[in-house]
Amino acid sequence: MHWTTGSGSPEREKTDLIVLGATRLREKADPKPWRGLEPGLRRQLAALGSLDAFTAQAEQLHLLAGDGTRAPWVLVLGLGPADELSPQTLRCALGAASQKARALGAKTCALALPWEALAGLEPEAVVRCCVEGAELALFDAGACKAHTGKDRKPAPRTWKILAPAALKTAVAEGAAAGVDYAQGCLFARDLVNRPANLLGPRELAAEARALARREGLTCTVMGAAQLRRLGMGGVLGVGQGSARPPQFVVLDYKPRGVRGKLPLIALVGKGVTFDTGGISIKPSADMHEMKGDMGGAAAVLGAALIAVRRGLRARLLVVVPAVENMPDGNAIRPGDVLTMASGKTVEVLNTDAEGRLILADALHYACKQKPDFVIDAATLTGACVVALGDEFAGLFCNHAGLGDALDRAGGDTFERVWPMPLVKEHHKLIESGIADLQNIGGRYGGACTAAAFLAEFVDDETPWAHLDIAGPAWVGKPGPLGPKGATGYGARLIARALELLTERDAG
């Protein structure tokens, strides 16, 4: 969708649909945002305050004929109580409005917000969240359907955001940021939703190459022979049970025209394009969702897209180990010992704890480049879902400043994180009797022992954060921000954290 700005009155806009945001007081809809409108429309809207049909609750929609306007329809959009407005309220409300606009067949829309009620929020952030919500809501998860053209009405082509002239610059910048953030998230969603027969390790590497060409990054893809030379026993071991060989993707971004020493930030994403569990095979129920076990890879690729488009003032290194975990005659067995790229040996007690094996090699590779920060993302453990549910990712971090940036970014994007312990006691649980480490740590604290395993492959002096995104990477039912399936979680979170880290560095 294309976004423009303006400062006129909504009833004068020649458009298919006018969307009017309305807050509420404690007992009724707040009429203040409607002052200054055409009298006939104002009377219609003012009358709503006494109707049970519309109380301006968040995401509530009320459709009116556009009498006295240049639009056939006016959609009054509830934003909830004025003193409870939040960025996520705006995202979800605009998502609901965007879905209604598509259902109406509106090709053009004009959006008028109650700016007085929004005075406590930054105008740029308000617009960014509105744009994100409208864009994310219309994601089509049915890419594999043989569409006839009659299944679904197209999304609106253009939105015009109306605001006071003094806010013109902030509104334009917010809209641009919203589009960039939404596109990164939607890119991640598309990758995670793609079925494994269409997205194996090579196809994921091809997507990374295409991203690099479009956005001006350097891309290197290493195959099995190069991985053997680098001693990446974790990646090779997990991948050896599949007929589709592993790929190791490295993207490098250097901003143009920026002088002086720039911080280097490494992003590492788990790229298991399908996870059967290997010899330690998973139950059949819901195994189809394991096409999404590359959600961490999708998150860091989506974050890179956002960061580059937003002109990140840092060097960015993106590392994606891509494998398929299958149980054929060549697959690793419980009890096998792998030698990792770092030289450490790992006893494999469970082949379904495979993500940490490929991440170990990828983290070692990233740390060899001496980054200022490392962030990894992975749909790593069911234990983290048990602990935190679907709403939060587990955050394991060895550096206060990095952890704070990710926590703040989670608040800004509503891709929320929850701090988890990273302590020496968990390291003792992954000690092996026959190798340096074992890849599981027992029944309890599975997310914590998995993080402790990864920490063994990160230099102690390197600021590092591990995001276990297994819970929020997937939703089981549709909502105002999109359909059932992949959420694209992590792309916006990480991109926002990168902005905060580089702002701090510049300061």
* Catalytic member of 160, 356, 492, 496: 356
Would you give the DSSP letter of residue 314? Answer: S
Q: Are 257 and 313 in contact (CB under 8 A)?
A: no
Q: Shortest CA distance to 243 belongs to which of 222, 219, 288, 274?
A: 274
Direct distance between the N- and C-terminal alpha carbons of the chain, in angstroms, rounded to an integer: 35
Q: Shortest CA distance to 318 belongs to which of 215, 236, 447?
A: 215
Q: How far apart are CA 86 and CA 79, in angstroms?
A: 9
CA 466-132-387 angle, 5° bins: 35
**Does residue 492 carry a catalytic annotation?**
no
Task: Read off the amino acid at residue 420.
Answer: M
**Phi, psi for 389 (deg, rounded to 5):** 70, -155
Map tokens 């294309």 to a residue: 2
Q: How far apart are CA 162 and CA 23, in angstroms?
A: 17
* Catalytic member of 28, 107, 168, 282: 282
Mention every residue, 6+ apart, whose C-beta is less than 8 A from residue 18.
10, 11, 66, 69, 71, 73, 74, 75, 109, 110, 112
Kind and range of the H or E run holding 346:
strand 345-347
**What torsion, rounded to 10 degrees, do the Cα atoms 355, 356, 362, 367 define?**
150
Cβ count near 150 (within 10 Å): 6
Compute the chain's Rg from CA coordinates. Answer: 24
Q: Shortest CA distance to 339 belongs to which of 269, 235, 430?
A: 235
Cβ count near 168 (within 10 Å): 15
Positive or negative: CA dihedral 120, 121, 124, 129:
negative
Q: Are 454 and 359 in contact (CB under 8 A)?
A: yes
Q: Per the structure block, which two tokens stand in for 230?
A: 């680098």
Q: What is the three-class DSSP state of 304?
A: helix
Q: Are 371 and 399 in contact (CB under 8 A)?
A: no
Map tokens 């590497």 to a residue: 205
Q: Per the structure block, which two tokens stand in for 108?
A: 């053009």
For 82-188, strand residue ranges (E) read 108-112, 158-162
**Does residue 356 carry a catalytic annotation?**
yes
Active site members: 282, 356
